[in-house]
Structure 1
Amino acid sequence: AAYAFRLASGEVKIYLLHVLDGPSFDASGSRGTIQIAKGLDLIPLAEGVETEEQRRFLVEHGCTLGQGFYFCTPVLPEKIASLVGRDLAGARSS
């Protein structure tokens, strides 16, 4: 099943519970949820991205924002600032 939640920022967070994985893969449901969000002028944000295959599928179907273990494992609050600072520093120097 896919669950969608509208965020105040004009994004819609799509929780892809087993939608993109294994025998319960539901490509049409995932595409449909992304298309509905875009049709409502919302920005789809996928939650629960765990593999390169899932990331690629989402990007190919217009969902370019995502979160999940594929990108980063959970981080303690006190370590977030150092991660963000490192990423921003890298972006400035390139």
Structure 2
Amino acid sequence: MWRTDDDEGRATTWIVLDADPPSRVRYARVAEGWTAGTAAVALTETPSGCRVTVEYDLTAIHPDAAADLDRFADEYSTSLASWQSLIVDHLDAGGAMPDPV
């Protein structure tokens, strides 16, 4: 279990629900009083590396959170592309991948 803060400073608690290292992990996540749900990450080996699939299933806990989830869904493809770029830049700079969960 660990905690992160979103852009608005809301604490989010993450808990590993199940995992099949190094190919899959699924988390429960709760942004206190705001949203709750699951996130799943799956890696599939390809000839040039791997394909990463990230899926979220989130529910608004607070009525005002629904608009945030709509924005998240609208910007999802852009966010994933940004994450991909950050990871590639990190690895190209000699950064290490973390140990499997």
TM over 0.5: no
Bigger share in helix: 1
Higher relative contact order (CA 8 A, sep 6+): 1
**TM-score, structure 2 length as denominator?**
0.29
TM-score by length of structure 1 reads 0.30
